Amino acid sequence: MACQWQCIGVQRKPPTEVIEAAHRAHALPFDDDTDFHDADRGFIAALSPCVIKAADGRVVWDNDAYSFLGGPAPASVHPSLWRQSTLAAKQGLYEVVSGIYQVRGLDLSNVTFVETDTGIIVIDPLVSTEVAGAALGLYRTHRGGDRPVVAVIYTHSHVDHFGGVLGVTSQADVDAGAVAVLAPDGFVEHAVQENVYAGPAMTRRATYMYGSMLPRGPRDQVGCGLGQATSTGEVAIIVPTIDIRVTGEKHTIDGVEIEFQMAPGTEAPAEMHFYFPRFRALCMAENATHNLHNLLTLRGALVRDPRAWSGYLTEAIDTFADRADVVFASHHWPTWGRESIVEFLSLQRDLYAYLHDQTLRLLNQGYTGIEIAEMFRMPPALERAWHTHGYYGSVSHNVKAVYQRYMGWFDGNPARLWPHPPEAIAPRYVEAMGGIDSVVGLAQKAFDTGDFRWAATLLDHAIFTDSAHQGARTLYAETLEQLAYGAENATWRNFFLSGATELRAGNFGTAAQVDSPTMLSQLTPEQIFDSLAIRVDGPRSWDLDLAIDVAFADLATNYRLTLRNGVLVHRKVAAEPATASVTVQLDSKFRLLSAAMGDFSSPGLQISGNQAALQALLGVLDQPDPSFDIVTP
Query: Is a pLDDT exceeding 50 seen at residue 586?
Result: no
Listed range (1-5, 290-294, 601-605) with the worst mean pLDDT: 1-5
Q: Under DSSP, is residue 583 helix (H, G, I), strand (E, B) or coil?
A: strand
Query: Is a pLDDT exceeding 60 seen at residue 158?
Result: yes
Question: Please, which pLDDT band fits residue 191 given cuts at 50, 70 and 90?
Answer: confident
Question: Please, which pLDDT band fits residue 604 given cuts at 50, 70 and 90?
Answer: low
- Per-residue pLDDT reduced to its tens digit, 72-94: 999 999 999 999 999 999 999 99
pLDDT score of 601: 66
Asked if residues 131 and 61 have their Cβ atoms less than 8 Å apart, the reply is yes
Q: Under DSSP, is residue 132 helix (H, G, I), strand (E, B) or coil?
A: helix
pLDDT score of 590: 60
Question: Please, which pLDDT band fits residue 594 given cuts at 50, 70 and 90?
Answer: low
Asked if residues 221 and 208 have their Cβ atoms less than 8 Å apart, the reply is no
Neighbours of 412 (CB within 10 A): 11
pLDDT score of 266: 97
Residue 305's identity, in one-letter code, is D
- Per-residue pLDDT reduced to its tens digit, 93-106: 999 999 999 999 99
Question: Please, which pLDDT band fits residue 35 given cuts at 50, 70 and 90?
Answer: very high
Residue 126 CA, chain-centre distance (Å), reads 13
Asked if residues 208 and 499 have their Cβ atoms less than 8 Å apart, the reply is yes
Output phi, psi for 171, to 5 deg. Answer: -60, -35
Query: Is a pLDDT exceeding 70 seen at residue 445?
Result: yes
Mean pLDDT of 318-334: 98
- Per-residue pLDDT reduced to its tens digit, 533-567: 999 999 999 999 998 888 877 777 888 899 999 99
pTM above 0.75, yes or no: yes
Output phi, psi for 611, to 5 deg. Answer: -65, -25
pLDDT score of 591: 61
Query: Is a pLDDT exceeding 80 seen at residue 257?
Result: yes
End-to-end CA, the chain: 31
Q: Under DSSP, is residue 146 helix (H, G, I), strand (E, B) or coil?
A: coil
Give Rg (Cα) of the chain. Answer: 26
- Per-residue pLDDT reduced to its tens digit, 476-517: 999 999 999 999 999 999 999 999 999 999 999 888 765 667
Query: Is a pLDDT exceeding 80 seen at residue 363?
Result: yes
pLDDT score of 57: 95
Query: Is a pLDDT exceeding 80 seen at residue 443?
Result: yes
Give the residue, 568 or 196, on which the prediction is more confident: 568
Q: What span, in angstroms and rounded, lies between the C-alpha atoms of 433 and 347? A: 48
Instruction: Check residue 252 and report its DSSP letter.
Output: E
Strand 111-115 relative to strand 120-123, pairing: antiparallel
Listed range (57-61, 93-97, 363-367, 606-610) with the worst mean pLDDT: 606-610
Q: What span, in angstroms and rounded, lies between the C-alpha atoms of 430 and 412? A: 26
Asked if residues 442 and 406 have their Cβ atoms less than 8 Å apart, the reply is no
Residues 6+ apart with CB under 8 A from 119: 147, 148, 149, 150, 254
Instruction: Check residue 528 and report its DSSP letter.
Output: H
Query: Is a pLDDT exceeding 80 seen at residue 50?
Result: yes
Q: What is the DSSP string of 533-562?
A: HTTB-TGGGTT-EEEEEEEEGGGTEEEEEE
Helix (H) or strand (E) holding 342: helix 338-363
Question: Please, which pLDDT band fits residue 1 given cuts at 50, 70 and 90?
Answer: very low
Q: What average pLDDT is seen over the chain?
A: 93
- Short-list 41, 64, 40, CA closest to 53: 64
Structural domains of the chain in order of their starting residue, each with its CATH number? 37-382 (3.60.15.30), 416-505 (1.25.40.880), 523-619 (3.30.1050.10)
Mean pLDDT of 3-30: 86
Query: Is a pLDDT exceeding 80 seen at residue 588?
Result: no
Give the residue, 529 or 221, on which the prediction is more confident: 221
pLDDT score of 552: 77
Listed range (16-25, 283-292, 309-318, 613-622) with the worst mean pLDDT: 613-622
